[in-house]
Structure 1
Amino acid sequence: MDMGNVLYQVSIWLLPALLAITLHEAGHAFAAWRLGDDTAKRQGRVTLNPLKHVDPIGTVLIPGLLLMAKAPFLFGYAKPVPVNFMRLNHPRRDMVLVALAGPMMNFLLAFLCMLSFHALDYLPVDWREWVALNLRNGLVLNVVLGFFNLLPIPPLDGGRVAVGILPNFLAIPLARLERFGFLILIGVIILLPMLFRQFGSDMDPMRWLMSGPIATVISVIATLAGFD
């Protein structure tokens, strides 16, 4: 193993992953506070300081091991933000807004990464490639994380959005799926591709579902940031 190369790869992925994962939770915390629930505020979670949102296993250990193992995907999570939905000003509506705040934070971070490419020419030449790789990885990670969390599967943010806007006869059964949500995701992300490979196919349902929208979002962000 080329330890120098491993450390370099960690250096260009660690900060983008840390910010993408933790500030996603900061978005939830800020939205909940502004909409009437100060639970996260009282726990010091309404902050852009990523250290306040770090989960040692989900934010550091798991992504680090995946990077060192050169895994084809990067997964991680931060400490979930506590939200008392009954303390929100309008619980059902505001639940949707709090859920959307996390992915919207990721799309904002992606835009800031793209915008920052304009500043590369002002950096010392020796730093430009390393900073550019961090920005590229931050852009991609935030768009992927933002879009992934919008999938309408509880306990993802998109699942909570769907529960908030669907009529009760659809929202209640969907909400009950939350206990199985991660099992469903593991099945779609890991088990289905393995099954397809057993039959000689490289079909990846999640990649097929997400690749087009992710490319479109990145293209829109590039245009908004002044890159035609």
Structure 2
Amino acid sequence: MFETLFLILILIFSVVIHEVAHGYAASALGDDTARHAGRLTLNPLAHLDPVGSVLVPLVLALLPGGLILGWAKPVPYNPYNLRARRFGPAIVALAGPLANICLALLMVVAVRLLPVAGIALSEALFAGIASIVLINVVLALFNLMPVPPLDGSKVLFSLLPYRYHFIEEALEHYWFIFLLAALLLWPYLASFVIALTTLLLEV
């Protein structure tokens, strides 16, 4: 039980980083909607979604495989305020997964540097760092799936000609079905994600 709660805390911290990155990317491109909404903060209370941040992770933790996955409330932004109107939404969308990748890589570097700094890498500490890497790799790859409303779909439709955007708008009405399908299919990719995480920590 303690391990599950620990993993959910890591998940909450990671999804907060993910959403704040979206907000800062939008702000850097000229839109301060997230700032005015009080979402450019690491305070988890400003970002938590009862279903995505608590219920879904708990349910997934109880399923075979113990995959922890979830989300926070999306950070609001106005695409019409972005200076880069054409590719701005893609940049904002990519900021979240990139933040998770950077956090995972930071933990990989920490595994290398802690022994050099004379800090013993105990089994518990290594397990904690490995969990941070795994959860952030999962978040990055999951969010890059080109399925509405995930970040990957926003990147995809930002790169397509504008005449195809009606498809995105139509698909977004069925976001819950797509998200449920993605959650059901994701465990089948768990072995790949675990192998990738192991490779990162062993290189």
Partner of 2:35: 41
SS at match of 1:91: coil
Task: Tell me how far apart the structure 1 counterparts of residues 38 and 11 of structure 2 sit (CA, whole Å).
Answer: 21
Match of 1:22 among 12, 16, 26: 16
Write the mapping of 1:142-181 to structure 2, written as runs, cut at 5 A.
142-181=136-175
Match of 1:133 among 127, 131, 148: 127
Q: How many residues are paired up? A: 200
Indicate conservation of the 8 Å contact 2:148/2:171, yes or no. yes
Indicate conservation of the 8 Å contact 2:134/2:193, yes or no. no
Indicate conservation of the 8 Å contact 2:137/2:193, yes or no. no
Task: Tell me how far apart the structure 2 counterparts of residues 166 and 213 of structure 1 sit (CA, whole Å).
Answer: 28
Q: Which amino acid aligns with 1:78?
A: A
- 1:74 and 2:31 equivalent? no
Indicate conservation of the 8 Å contact 1:162/1:171, yes or no. no
Q: State the shift of 1:149 in Å.
A: 0.7
Q: State the shift of 1:218 in Å.
A: 6.7
Partner of 1:201: none
TM-score (norm 1): 0.75
Higher mean alpha-carbon deviation, 75-84 vs 99-108, is at: 75-84
Task: Tell me how far apart the structure 1 counterparts of residues 64 and 196 of structure 2 sit (CA, whole Å).
Answer: 25
- 1:50 and 2:40 equivalent? no
Task: Tell me how far apart the structure 2 counterparts of residues 60 and 178 of structure 1 sit (CA, whole Å).
Answer: 23
5+ long unaligned stretches in structure 2 = none
Indicate conservation of the 8 Å contact 1:152/1:162, yes or no. yes
Taking only the aligned residue pairs, the percentage that are identical comes to 36
SS at match of 1:92: coil
Task: Tell me how far apart the structure 2 counterparts of residues 136 and 213 of structure 1 sit (CA, whole Å).
Answer: 12
Give the superposed CA RMSD.
2.7
5+ long unaligned stretches in structure 1 = 1-5, 191-204
C-alpha distance 163-58 of structure 1, shift in aligned 2 (>3 A) = same
Indicate conservation of the 8 Å contact 1:33/1:40, yes or no. yes
Q: State the shift of 1:187 in Å.
A: 2.9
Partner of 1:200: none
